[in-house]
Structure 1
């Protein structure tokens, strides 16, 4: 990622997404923020302190119109799209037999369909620009190794689809010089987790702690600059998948 390039980041009004936006603008990039809450987006954009490098689009990524509007905003404000970070999504534990059809539909829409549709909009623009690009999805290591005490079948099914989409698109889009990778976090200290309980998961990782948002940001920044890397799932999990202490 170089100065004056443009990054679209979904789910960027807080947590991992907002930290990513802060890191990219610090490096001179333009960012287009996205979230469902207009008020939070306005506050997030203001917190970055560089209005000339920031735009935002409020909307549900499960609607095709949101992806199209994100791209149109990036083109109108900054001249194009160079990178997409598909960060938006929901994740919460619930016993398999208790998951309602409505909850399952919500995860599939927000985590998988939304990622799919926004990526379609961005890839069309990247192809028309003819200069390649980078797509980085946020998945989860729990796709590979679940936690018995943290049942999350519905969000994991949707995130598993995101991992599969990564591999498929890496192959399909390589000829266009569009790289597609995934960062797969373990347990990270974000608003998705209860503050009073999240550190209790530290013992499952070899490094005996949970991850911090900045560590996920570091992984995304690495993939953003890894010009010969595509189709890769980069774990940021403190060694959880490799082995448990």
Structure 2
């Protein structure tokens, strides 16, 4: 039997991550899905790894599970992320450790191990989930730690895309606006919808569709694809 392509998806237990597992299975991929609270899957082509992606060795163990189970890694989607909105001077050390741990350390270790595997097999694709707030600040949503971390992911997306362009590895990012997920209580939806020129929040499928597009767009690398209801164009 031909080994299918394999996608590693972080933050995969709910919202965008869970929808990505479904979408990539429909594309015929085997999946290794991870989050802190993820449970086992009934699908033999979906392996789950419970763990905190910010913790040392978790990212490497997730990629190791993909190799043990399926023998390869074709796509890594760095979907796990946390967002804490506070005035800059009110952030605590705990906030800093949480946000940088998930958004940066989680990306770093998982991507480093996955790209190493992709180099050995001759190619692959990395997708980072960032945020439009990293590039286009909004006075009504103080978000310095998001800018610090997700802005870093935007920059490293381009850096890695160029570093590995000649070796068959593409690196892209999707930069969402505010997406309707369990993270946002219903009473905040009207305010959040108003942050987007189109007047609504994004839906999970908007982000999934963008990632699936990037998966098949073999001439696209180093791209930060804004799926943000016009936020990045102006307000």
TM-score (norm 1): 0.91
CA 1:240–1:28: 2 relative to 1, 3 Å? same
Counterpart secondary structure, 2:174? strand
1:161-196 Cα deviation digits (max 9, x unpaired): 111110110011112110000000001001221222
Aligned pair partner of 2:118 in 112, 117, 126: 126
- Who is 1:96 aligned against? 88
Q: How many pairs are equivalent?
A: 233
Counterpart secondary structure, 1:56? strand
1:69-115 Cα deviation digits (max 9, x unpaired): 11221112112000000000101211111101221122111101110
- Who is 2:177 aligned against? 186
Looking at structure 1, the residues matched to 134 and 203 of structure 2 have their Cα atoms a distance apart, in angstroms, of 20
- Who is 2:44 aligned against? 52
Looking at structure 2, the residues matched to 125 and 64 of structure 1 have their Cα atoms a distance apart, in angstroms, of 19
1:185-211 Cα deviation digits (max 9, x unpaired): 001001221222123222232211110
Instruction: Decide whether the 8 Å contact of 2:32 with 2:49 is kept in 1.
Output: yes
Instruction: Decide whether the 8 Å contact of 1:20 with 1:217 is kept in 2.
Output: yes
- Who is 1:22 aligned against? 22
- Structure 1 residue 57, shift from structure 2 partner: 1.0
Instruction: Decide whether the 8 Å contact of 1:34 with 1:41 is kept in 2.
Output: no
Aligned pair partner of 1:157 in 145, 148, 151: 148
- Who is 1:198 aligned against? 189
Looking at structure 2, the residues matched to 63 and 209 of structure 1 have their Cα atoms a distance apart, in angstroms, of 35
Stretches of structure 1 lacking an aligned partner (at least 5 in a row) = none
Counterpart secondary structure, 2:128? strand
Counterpart secondary structure, 1:234? strand
Looking at structure 2, the residues matched to 213 and 106 of structure 1 have their Cα atoms a distance apart, in angstroms, of 24
- Who is 2:136 aligned against? 145
Aligned pair partner of 1:80 in 59, 72, 84: 72
1:21-70 Cα deviation digits (max 9, x unpaired): 11111221111100012xx333xx34xxxx12100111122234212211
Q: Which moved more, 1:219-228 or 1:199-208?
A: 199-208
- Who is 2:100 aligned against? 108
Q: Does residue 62 of structure 2 align to residue 70 of structure 1?
A: yes
- Who is 1:41 aligned against? 39
Looking at structure 2, the residues matched to 71 and 172 of structure 1 have their Cα atoms a distance apart, in angstroms, of 21
Looking at structure 2, the residues matched to 78 and 195 of structure 1 have their Cα atoms a distance apart, in angstroms, of 40
Instruction: Decide whether the 8 Å contact of 1:92 with 1:192 is kept in 2.
Output: no
User: Structure 1 runs of 4+ off > 4 angstroms?
Assistant: none
Looking at structure 1, the residues matched to 233 and 83 of structure 2 have their Cα atoms a distance apart, in angstroms, of 23
Instruction: Decide whether the 8 Å contact of 2:99 with 2:149 is kept in 1.
Output: yes
1:105-156 Cα deviation digits (max 9, x unpaired): 22111101110110001011111112x0000000000011122111111122
1:166-185 alignment runs, 5 A limit: 166-185=157-176
